[in-house]
Structure 1
Amino acid sequence: MQIEANSPEQYISEVPAERREALQNLRKIILENLPKGFEETMNYKMIGYVVPHSIFPDGYHCDPNLPLPFAHLANQKNYLALYHSGIYADAELRNWFVKSYKSMTGKKPDMGKSCVRFKNMQQIPYDLIGELMTRFSVEEWVTLYQNR
């Protein structure tokens, strides 16, 4: 379910009403906790959080014209999704997140390799998402990315 939008605000305005507030809250908690240097942008038809070319000129290896991705928010057909590259790239971070999620919510997260799916908008652990965003500085993320 791709949304054609030129800004995060436009993207959110086009999300179904029953998910809009949750997406706004996810965006807010991410922006409040996003380490200095990462930038919010529209990327891959999603709300993206990236390392800009001004910090990492090489860009993303799949397409060097794109900035290095870190996280994305998206509205999918049946859920909201948070794509977090650190969860994919760092097993220790993934283990911490899964354990913390279960501790906070009483159940395992619905996850893919980098995707956390939120099907119930009332059960999103916003504080945990905020903490997840603080786990990498820009420098740490670029170093991990370069060493993979």
Structure 2
Amino acid sequence: MQIQSVSIEDYISKIPEERQDAFKKLFDAVNDNLPEGFEEATNYGMIGWVVPLSTYPAGYHCAQGTALPFINLASQKNFIALYHMGLYSKPEILDWFVAEYPKYSKKKLDMGKSCVRFKKVEDIPFELIAELSRKMTVEDWIGIYESQYKK
């Protein structure tokens, strides 16, 4: 289920009502804790934070002329998803997150390569997500992106 939206507020308004408060709180946990330089965006049918073209003119190699994505939030059919490129690209952050997760949640960690899925809103570890959001700067992400992904 991809939500088409023209703004962050529009996206949130289209989320099922029972998820909206938790989604807003998750948005705030990320937005309030990201290092300076990331910019809010709606992209790929999600809400996201990107490295703007004004900072990194080369942009995203998979979609020429678009900002470099970093974190996305999505309300999917059966869960809320957090996509964090640091989890995918930096083993130290992934290892830290996997080790810390049980301290914040009694539920088993449900994740893919960069995606953490929350099936129940009451199971979202907002404090852990806030801490995760502080882990990489724009400069860190550009450096990793250029060394690992850009072709």
> Which bin holds the TM-score, normalised by the shorter protein?
over 0.9
What SS is found at the alignment partner of 1:110? coil
Aligned-partner Cα distance in 2 for 1:104–1:15: 25
Instruction: Say whether the 8 Å CA contact 1:39–1:51 is kept in structure 2.
Output: yes
Aligned-partner Cα distance in 2 for 1:115–1:140: 20
Which residue type is aligned with residue 140 of structure 1? D
1:84 matches 2:71: no
What SS is found at the alignment partner of 1:54? coil
Aligned-partner Cα distance in 2 for 1:54–1:114: 25
Give the equivalent residue in structure 2 for 1:119.
Answer: 119
- Residue 104 of structure 1 deviates from its aligned partner by 1.7
- Residue 60 of structure 1 deviates from its aligned partner by 0.6
Aligned residues: 148
Aligned-partner Cα distance in 1 for 2:23–2:113: 21
What SS is found at the alignment partner of 2:48? strand
Aligned-partner Cα distance in 1 for 2:108–2:89: 19
Give the equivalent residue in structure 1 for 2:10.
Answer: 10
Unpaired segments of 5 or more residues in structure 1?
none
Aligned-partner Cα distance in 1 for 2:129–2:117: 12
Identity of aligned residues (%): 51
Give the equivalent residue in structure 2 for 1:20.
Answer: 20
Cα RMSD (Å)? 0.8
- Residue 68 of structure 1 deviates from its aligned partner by 0.5
Which residue type is aligned with residue 35 of structure 1? P
- Using structure 2 for the length normalisation, give the TM-score: 0.95
Farther off after superposition, 30-39 or 105-114: 105-114
1:39 matches 2:39: yes
CA deviation profile, 1:1-42 (whole Å, cap 9, x unmatched): 111111111100000011111110011111110110000011
Instruction: Say whether the 8 Å CA contact 2:107–2:123 is kept in structure 1.
Output: no
Unpaired segments of 5 or more residues in structure 2?
none
Aligned-partner Cα distance in 2 for 1:119–1:107: 10
Give the equivalent residue in structure 1 for 2:69.
Answer: 69
CA deviation profile, 1:117-145 (whole Å, cap 9, x unmatched): 00110111001000101100100110111
CA deviation profile, 1:57-103 (whole Å, cap 9, x unmatched): 00011112111010000010100000001100011100100110112
Instruction: Say whether the 8 Å CA contact 1:101–1:107 is kept in structure 2.
Output: no
What SS is found at the alignment partner of 2:3? coil
